[in-house]
Amino acid sequence: MPEGHSVHRLARQLDDVFAGEVLRVSSPQGRFTAGAALLDGRELLEATAHGKQLFARFAGEQILRVHLGLYGAFGFGGDQGFRGASSIGAPRRIGEKEAYDDGTPVAYDGPPEPVGHVRMRLVSEHGWADLRGPSVCEVLTVPEAEAVRGRLGPDPLGADTAAGEEEFLRRIGATGTVIAAALMNQALIAGVGNIYRAEALFRAGLDPWARGRDLPVPVVRRLWQDICALMADGVRDGRIITTRAPDRADPEAPVWPDHAYYTYQRQGQPCLICRTPIGLAELAARKLYWCPACQPRTGRSA
């Protein structure tokens, strides 16, 4: 159940441990057998992310595209050098909750027998990665991969956040949908999910039902900039934390605060700012959390 920050961490991890390596690629589960055969024995050149989409470029113009969906996750394992190659702290799993190695040296005898439904297994000389439960795992040509990217909006974790801001402004200004729905539309902004959506709207004090095109330009700019900052923190921490330090129950515990969120899954509980009970609504088949007092309905909202 990853939002964009998890996929960016995953891309970094794959790049750290596999880039430049010739990989054995298989599908123990059997649902990716043909795709695995296209990649098997090729060098992984680079792994990148755009929003929630993961792209791994292999030699021979083969692009692996993975989307984790609701519950996809990668698991990693390998020898000491493999684990040390990770720049994000050698997690054993990336996708939903991440578990970290404690640094204890372990003997490495090659990958374990696949347990359960492993859609794809990548194996190098020094380590392995197992992919489970993705909504998409396929091999694309370069033009096909570019077409996928072309359908996505700007990524707050992309290299050029200034250009992304202008693009976000353009796309939000052109949509008639409410801002809470717009933030979940990957064609308008890529990588935001249900948590960042709810939390960014709260931090901006925005009515979730305000229409995108009705929002003042400076408000939309600040929203983009705040999402960029929040998601960059998420990549750094491996976890979504959106509460400002003074708003957490224990300011002395900045890394694992009691309250990581202002509104997400806090329906009925008091707002951390004004004590008003947090609201819950159904919007486009997803749950929307907001504070009715800090994010008052505006006249023109839908």
Partner DNA sequence: CTAGCATGATCAC
Partner DNA sequence: TGATCCTGCTAGC
Instruction: Name the segment binding DNA (CB under 7 A); options: 11-19, 121-129, 168-176, 279-287.
Output: 279-287
Instruction: Name the segment binding DNA (CB under 7 A); options: 34-42, 57-65, 210-218, 285-293.
Output: 285-293
For the four alpha carbons of 84, 237, 101 and 93, in that order, the dihedral sign comes to: negative
Q: Is 2 annotated in the active site?
A: yes
Residue number, 221 or 286, with CB nearest to DNA: 286
Q: What angle is formed at CA 133 by the lines to CA 131 and CA 136, rounded to 5 degrees?
A: 85
- C-alpha–C-alpha distance, residues 94 and 110, integer Å: 20
Q: How many residues contact DNA, by CB under 7 A?
A: 29
Residue number, 32 or 58, with CB nearest to DNA: 32
- C-alpha–C-alpha distance, residues 166 and 300, integer Å: 24
Residue 24 sits in the site that holds DNA (CB under 7 A): no
Are 70 and 3 in contact by the 8 Å Cβ rule? The answer is no
Residue 240 sits in the site that holds DNA (CB under 7 A): yes
Residue 243 sits in the site that holds DNA (CB under 7 A): no
Q: Is 52 annotated in the active site?
A: yes
Residue 149 sits in the site that holds DNA (CB under 7 A): no
- C-alpha–C-alpha distance, residues 213 and 216, integer Å: 8
Q: How many residues does the chain have?
A: 302
Chosen residue from 37, 70, 147, 245 binding DNA by CB under 7 A: 70
Non-local (6+) Cβ contacts of 165 within 8 A are 154, 221, 224, 225
Residue 195 sits in the site that holds DNA (CB under 7 A): yes
Chosen residue from 127, 158, 193, 212 binding DNA by CB under 7 A: 193
Non-local (6+) Cβ contacts of 57 within 8 A are 44, 45, 46, 47, 48, 63, 64
Binding site for DNA (CB under 7 A): 1-3, 6, 31, 51-52, 67, 69-71, 73, 96-97, 116-117, 132-133, 135, 184, 186, 193-195, 240, 284-287
Catalytic sites, residue numbers: 2-3, 52, 286
